[in-house]
């Protein structure tokens, strides 16, 4: 760390010198324009940055299927707008995997293809993306997925179960958008300014989005099991509906706490949600006792469903803890 004394020039302008080493490393010299970004009582300075598309390339030789798709998604989340995938020869299977990857991303399309490269581009303006809107959309989808998964189980409706499984792709796309936005705020103060959300709040939204993505995964797990089960005993169906209602309440209170603008409201909702998680643990044990009277294979499957609902409530509790931290006074 270096320190500098603030001086007054011309009787009205405050000036401060820049460390020469930093200026040299960042190509700052006489006449260079720099940008200032106020964050509370701090002022961030950076050399003027051109607004341009970020380009990156990666060698995908030997990568197939999930490995290749993960490589594309990693480049996307890292903030690249134009991504060149290179190899000695791009195989047909690789092209298929690349297309599958682009379909899992928001606003990304294949721009150019040759025998040894594929170029994909993010067509969305990053400045127009909203982390709040993305998390809000994730909330709505995950909530409806969990509700429909339980309905598919109780009503033995395979069509609803398949629909829940398909909707998971929407949550995954939004999760990658949230991750991309969050990482952008870590790299650039301009991204924070354009987003209009502080870095701390971005971290809270990113953490909560991760919990929503996990809740959606458990909705898929419940739907997968529902496809293999038949009609449930009435008392078991009622017990699972009751457990879902309690887990759903934790989910709603936690998300309301996260988005609450009033700190007192956020604290009340957050504490209520965490208290409810403890009650759900007791409810889960009672249902597990009830399942012991069922045929072993059915009892095992239903036990997994009860566990998924309990874990979904725990994830809601994690969101509640994040909401409480977000509402806490800032030092």
Range(s) of the domain holding residue 64 = 55-126
Give the span between the Cα atoms of 148 and 208, in whole angstroms. Answer: 21
**Residue at which a domain ends, from 126, 151, 168:** 126
Residues 98 and 223 in one domain: no
Per-residue pLDDT of the chain (331 residues; tens, 9 = 90+): 777 777 777 777 778 788 878 778 778 877 777 777 777 777 777 776 666 678 888 888 888 888 989 999 999 998 888 999 888 888 999 889 889 999 888 888 888 889 888 998 888 766 667 999 999 999 999 999 999 999 999 999 999 999 999 999 999 999 999 999 999 888 877 777 777 888 899 999 999 999 999 999 999 999 999 999 888 888 888 999 999 999 999 999 999 999 999 999 999 999 999 999 988 888 888 888 878 878 888 889 999 999 999 999 999 999 999 999 999 887 7
Residues 293 and 317 in one domain: yes
Residues 234 and 307 in one domain: yes
Read off the tokens for 41.
Answer: 């009582």
Position 266 scores a pLDDT of 94
Q: What's the domain count of the chain?
A: 3
Alpha helices in the chain (DSSP H): 20-25, 65-77, 92-103, 131-155, 158-187, 189-195, 199-226, 234-259, 263-291, 296-327
CB-CB contact of 306 with 288 (8 Å)? yes
Residues 119 and 256 in one domain: no
Position 290 scores a pLDDT of 79
Residues 24 and 69 in one domain: no
Residues 307 and 200 in one domain: yes
Give the span between the Cα atoms of 200 and 182, in whole angstroms. Answer: 10
Residues 259 and 314 in one domain: yes
Position 50 scores a pLDDT of 67
Q: Tell me, yes or no, whether 1 lies in a domain.
A: no
């Amino acid at each position: 760390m270096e320190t500098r004394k603030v001086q007054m020039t011309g009787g009205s302008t405050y000036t401060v010198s820049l460390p020469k080493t930093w200026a040299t490393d960042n190509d700052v010299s006489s006449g260079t324009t720099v940008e200032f970004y106020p964050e509370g009582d701090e002022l961030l300075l950076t050399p003027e940055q051109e607004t341009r598309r970020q380009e990156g390339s990666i060698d995908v030789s030997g990568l197939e299927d999930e490995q290749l798709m993960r490589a594309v998604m990693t480049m996307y989340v890292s903030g690249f707008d134009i991504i060149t995938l290179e190899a000695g020869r791009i195989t047909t299977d690789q092209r298929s995997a690349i297309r599958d990857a682009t379909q899992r991303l928001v606003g990304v399309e294949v721009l150019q293809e040759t025998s040894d490269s594929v170029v994909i581009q993010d067509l969305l303006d990053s400045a127009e993306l909203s982390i709040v809107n993305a998390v809000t959309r994730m909330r709505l989808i995950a909530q409806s997925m969990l509700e429909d998964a339980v309905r598919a189980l109780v009503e033995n409706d395979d069509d609803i179960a398949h629909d829940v499984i398909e909707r998971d792709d929407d949550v995954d796309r939004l999760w990658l958008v949230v991750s991309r936005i969050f990482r952008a705020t870590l790299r650039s103060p301009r991204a924070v300014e354009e987003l209009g959300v502080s870095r701390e709040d971005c971290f809270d939204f990113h953490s909560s989005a991760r919990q929503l993505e996990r809740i959606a995964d458990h909705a898929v797990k419940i739907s997968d099991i529902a496809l293999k089960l038949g009609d449930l005993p009435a008392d078991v169906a009622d017990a699972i509906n009751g457990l879902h209602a309690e887990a759903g309440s934790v989910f709603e209170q936690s998300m309301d706490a996260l988005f609450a603008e009033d700190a007192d409201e956020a604290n009340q909702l957050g504490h209520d949600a965490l208290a409810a998680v403890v009650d759900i643990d007791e409810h889960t044990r009672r249902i597990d006792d009830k399942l012991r009277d069922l045929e072993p294979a059915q009892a095992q499957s239903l036990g997994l469903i009860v566990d998924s609902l309990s874990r979904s409530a725990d994830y809601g509790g994690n969101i509640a803890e994040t909401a409480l931290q977000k509402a806490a006074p800032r030092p």
